[in-house]
Structure 1
């Protein structure tokens, strides 16, 4: 890194801080702070949805998988894209009609307050863990680029995200996400990918130089692809940070179209990063740490200025994901826990201050955990496993099955969570079986209890939008 690359990165950080300050002028109500007024048009919505999906793991992790497994390394992020398309096609209409704010609020409307609280706790844990992983990634990038101590780097990176998210909420996150989407797209598709291919002699030369197995779309293994499906495709369908983005769309049509765009973009991103990883294999065949494939390739082939742009693109992916996850966790904490049990009857102004306090507290907690743990990829997989295994079935049946009862929903969340955690403890945290067991247990409990439970299903999910807004 020379002074030009460092300057590009520092200017990028400064722009984010300025946007955070400007975002405060657009926040007048709690809905604007949490959901940007539910008024995003298609272009802005598409860029923001992509920014919250594509994180540091989707960038650095996919390049590593491309280095190790070739083109089949794309399945990790491709499943994220498939998940957002499923969410947009089959669930966006219900979201737009119900006008809810969180996944827990939806479950509460269908299954009651106990289920709302329980699902909120599970979802908060998941979203905070996602934020932690992004803070660690930001710290690693800043440490490598500027040479600062790792702890200091994580505090600075996480602090910038907390600052602009805290000030303007979803409006600040939206404004920064648009910029981050542009930087991500330019840095990867128009700089890093073509220069990587040119460095190895072109696309045809790459195909000739990599092992034959690296051209097999299923080389990574059917079991691994299925694990990605369970963890990330199904996890996306019930992920609060993604839901909260979907809620910002102006209409159901915007949310569906944006989800399709984000899904196809994610697949294109997955293929691009896998190809970059394959180029790194050709250029750096003796790389000791495959997770360094992207960074080593970038530092080896990019001229001054462009290197700063590409590294800013990686930071953009990390920061957009971190801000979306942080706001999602604070919204869950404020909307479904604090305002329901500690601050009942709070007015709109107080709601905003409670949300900001939750954002600050959870952001600080995420930085502390990042400094303490420094490697939470396994913990993130566990969080995704619980999210998919315990909440997926109650959410789907809550929307599409009218006979589901409150007792069944609450029992299914508890039972699914217990089975997933027990399965991970017995079979190991890398096993995919506990997710299937948890979903099966959740489904059996949901159907069985609903059929034998004499209490009547709640009908709040069919109330008019204006009644839901009052609640």
Structure 2
């Protein structure tokens, strides 16, 4: 297999550009750091709360529009068993960031938190609140892996590059400028990357739609020609699953450190809300080219292309549909811009995920629990070490993923079920305490695990009504993820309220449950 030399050189030039911008931003950050009188680690994590309105909007949008978002959206629109109605990502991103801006950004920024986990540690204590660190960090790693996997498949299809090599190189470049400049480097490179995404994808769209092998998407939206309509349909039987997916992507997209890092780095409370709402519309608009490319793929007679007589879906290559369309329906010199757009999307989200993961561990675990007396230099060293370790874990996982959209959704899944109800409680419910918090987290985790996960062939222990077996996996149709989330919310609030009535001081921890249990038995 011959490597596309022109494409490889173009991508290498793009990487060099991004690295140059990252290094320039790192030097700018150093100058600001010298003038900053606060904690130097906060300068790296939240840029000293000096991110302006315009830069905040652009970096928020770029963070949201990752490789998994772009590739996964095209994949779902194309799939005959899904279609546009099942592709909830672009529309849910709009609702997600609007809700985040209206309901969460103001509260978080007003309290001047450094990370998303700060309110949990202030309410429940440093050790107990660490429970939410686990789903938060796992979600970030899954998200990074999905993003890197998207670039690997794209490069292997368009440039004939080895997938593993593409993933490793992209991860290394992203890690380097993240280590050098922190949030400043990430934010400024996001601006360049966002421009590349917008220009690269929109440049490819008209070429794909005008290809001789493509039937007008207006016709295939309502008529079956090469496959089912790309609009798709929702069977009444599956309405519960659709609602589950919809709510997961809307509410599960809020409790992310990558998002709150932009909110907390804003120069003012109003800017924090505005960048979230403006970023919502930006993220939705950036998903439109992927929707169009997915519809083009569903409208293509692949027998008229050099791809072959079988469709990508029949070859089990639906996850790679975006790069396949770019390669076989665009001129070679145009498809190079497409791979540039994917690379930009990957790096703009990966750097955010690396920084947010390291910020949570360093600030909430290392500094507050493991090494409370650590020096500023030690904290920065721990943060850089964490960036490296998270990069390694995400890269390894990216090399073995089977579905980009599945991994993308699973990362939001964990956050939705476990973190979202607890974030609502810690910010809006005054009566919640440690007993309710711990029980609520465990309830969510157990119910979610019991529901099974077909992506990893993890069997379902609880068979909710309406489901069916497929390849020995029980497929849930009931909205069991939303059920787990609501159960966690209900358990947290109810148990906290009851415990406050029984023990007015409300100081209930997992360490005195034995005494509580003994008192209850004595009373009864």
Q: Name the TM-score, length of structure 1 as normaliser.
A: 0.88
2:373 to 345, 351, 360: 345
Whole-angstrom distance in 2 between the partners of 1:429 and 1:50: 37
Whole-angstrom distance in 2 between the partners of 1:455 and 1:155: 55
Counterparts of residues 158-177 of structure 1 (less than 5 Å): 158-177=171-190
Whole-angstrom distance in 2 between the partners of 1:128 and 1:310: 25
Q: Deviations over 1:132-163 (max 9, x none)?
A: 22222222233334434333222212111111
Whole-angstrom distance in 2 between the partners of 1:384 and 1:357: 25
Identify which range, 218-227 or 105-114, moves more after superposition: 218-227
Identify which range, 242-251 or 381-390, moves more after superposition: 381-390
Q: Looking at both structures, which has the greater relative contact order when contacts are Cα pairs under 8 Å and sequence separation is at least 6? A: 1
Contact 2:158 2:323 in 1 (8 A): no
The alpha-carbon deviation at position 215 of structure 1 amounts to 6.8
Contact 2:78 2:230 in 1 (8 A): no
Whole-angstrom distance in 2 between the partners of 1:328 and 1:100: 14
Whole-angstrom distance in 2 between the partners of 1:385 and 1:63: 20
Contact 2:213 2:300 in 1 (8 A): no
The alpha-carbon deviation at position 311 of structure 1 amounts to 0.9
Identify which range, 217-226 or 141-150, moves more after superposition: 217-226
Whole-angstrom distance in 2 between the partners of 1:146 and 1:455: 66
Counterparts of residues 432-443 of structure 1 (less than 5 Å): 433-443=479-489
Identify which range, 387-396 or 213-222, moves more after superposition: 213-222
SS across alignment from 2:374: coil
Identify which range, 146-155 or 58-67, moves more after superposition: 146-155
1:117 to 109, 126, 130: 130
Whole-angstrom distance in 1 between the partners of 2:221 and 2:444: 43
What's 2:518 paired with?
none
The alpha-carbon deviation at position 182 of structure 1 amounts to 0.6
What's 1:354 paired with?
382
Work out whether 1:419 is the aligned partner of 2:447.
yes
Contact 1:385 1:420 in 2 (8 A): no
Contact 1:416 1:441 in 2 (8 A): yes
What's 2:298 paired with?
281
The alpha-carbon deviation at position 55 of structure 1 amounts to 1.5
What's 2:57 paired with?
46
The alpha-carbon deviation at position 242 of structure 1 amounts to 1.6
Unaligned runs of 5+ in 2: 34-39, 303-309, 453-459, 464-472, 508-524
What's 2:356 paired with?
328
SS across alignment from 1:247: helix
Work out whether 1:257 is the aligned partner of 2:274.
yes
2:229 to 183, 195, 214: 214
What's 1:465 paired with?
none
Equivalent residue pairs, number: 456
Contact 1:117 1:337 in 2 (8 A): yes
The alpha-carbon deviation at position 52 of structure 1 amounts to 1.0
Work out whether 1:235 is the aligned partner of 2:259.
no
SS across alignment from 2:106: helix
Change over 3 Å in CA distance of 1:132–1:71 after alignment to 2: closer
Counterparts of residues 58-457 of structure 1 (less than 5 Å): 58-68=69-79, 69-189=82-202, 191-199=203-211, 205-212=216-223, 214=229, 216=231, 219=234, 222-285=239-302, 286-288=310-312, 289-372=317-400, 378=406, 381-424=409-452, 425-426=460-461, 427=463, 431=476, 433-453=479-499, 454-456=503-505
C-alpha root-mean-square deviation of aligned residues, in Å?
2.7
Contact 2:115 2:257 in 1 (8 A): yes
Identify which range, 209-218 or 76-85, moves more after superposition: 209-218
The alpha-carbon deviation at position 22 of structure 1 amounts to 2.4
What's 1:7 paired with?
9
Work out whether 1:56 is the aligned partner of 2:67.
yes
Whole-angstrom distance in 1 between the partners of 2:267 and 2:155: 36
Q: Name the TM-score, length of structure 2 as normaliser.
A: 0.80
Unaligned runs of 5+ in 1: 459-471
Whole-angstrom distance in 2 between the partners of 1:429 and 1:55: 31
Whole-angstrom distance in 2 between the partners of 1:270 and 1:410: 38
Q: Deviations over 1:173-226 (max 9, x none)?
A: 11111111111111223x1223333447999x4212444473757558634532
The alpha-carbon deviation at position 379 of structure 1 amounts to 5.3
Rg comparison, structure with higher value? 2
The alpha-carbon deviation at position 49 of structure 1 amounts to 0.8
Whole-angstrom distance in 2 between the partners of 1:66 and 1:93: 35
Whole-angstrom distance in 2 between the partners of 1:373 and 1:54: 20
The alpha-carbon deviation at position 356 of structure 1 amounts to 0.8
Change over 3 Å in CA distance of 1:231–1:398 after alignment to 2: same
Q: Deviations over 1:317-341 (max 9, x none)?
A: 1111111111111111111111122
Contact 1:24 1:168 in 2 (8 A): yes
Q: Deviations over 1:43-101 (max 9, x none)?
A: 21111111111112211111122223444254223212211111111111101111112
More helix as a share of residues: 1
The alpha-carbon deviation at position 110 of structure 1 amounts to 2.2
